[in-house]
Amino acid sequence: MRHEVVVMETWGYIRVSVDKETQAAGWQEQIKTLKALGVSDQNMHMEEASTRGTRPVFEKLVANANQTATPEHRICICASKMDRAFRDLAAADSAITSPQNPNVIWLLPDLSPNPLDPKDPAQMLLVRMMGAVAQFERDRLAERRAYGIAKAKREGKYKGRKPTARAKTPEVLKLKERGFRPDEIAKQLEIGRASVFRILRDHRENQTA
C-alpha cells in the first residue's frame, strides 16, 4: 500500500512597530525564537510596520502561502507572539479557524508550542483563553497609559510624544543633498538607518509619482 508523504514547510514573520534599530532587542529575540522553531534564514519575512497600518510584507507572505500550500506540501507560518502577526484576537481567530487555504496553518508559541489545529476543540479553547488574557493585558496597559496621559494633561505636565524619525524628513533630505551617507545621517540625527532609508525611498517614490 502506498503512503503519501506530507511535507511541512515553516515560514516565519518578524515585525516591529518602529524600526529594527530602535527595537533591536525585540527584533533579535524574534529571530532567535523563529530559528528555534526551525525557520530558515531564507524563509524569514521581516517588516517594520504597525498593525494599525498597511503591512505589505505580511500580506504578501499570507498570499504566497495560500497560493503555494497543498495537502502534500503544507505551510506553517510562525510568529514569536500573536501580536506580532495579528492586530487583535478576532483577527487571529479568523485566520486560524477560517483560513483561505486549509493547508496553511499557524504556530504562535505564546499560545501553544504546537501548530494550531482548528479541528481540535480543546486546543482552540486553550488558544482563545490565552489570547483573551493577552488581549485583556494589552487593553489594561492602554487604559493605564491613557489615564496617565489625561492626568498629566490636567496637571500641565504632558509634553506629548517625542518626534518620530519621519518628523525629521526635512533634515534627512537636506543632509542627503549635502552628500552625507545614510549611516552618517542616522548618527547625526539620532535615528535608525532603516528610518533614513525609508524616508529616502518614500521621497524618491514621491518624486517619480
Q: What is the pLDDT of residues 24-59, one digit of tens each?
A: 888 999 999 999 999 999 999 999 887 777 889 999
Distances (CA, A) of 124 to 80, 96, 194: 18, 9, 38
Cell reading at 113: 508550542
Widest distance between CA atoms in the chain? 78
- CA distances, 151 to each of 87, 147, 161 (Å): 28, 6, 15
| Residue 51, phi then psi, degrees to nearest 5 | -70, -15
User: Under a CB-based contact definition with an 8 Å cutoff, are residues 96 and 116 in contact?
Assistant: yes
Report for 9-13, 144-148, 176-180: range of highest mean pLDDT: 9-13
Look at 105 and 52; give whichever has higher pLDDT: 105
DSSP-assigned letter for residue 5:
P
* C-alpha cell of residue 82: 500573536
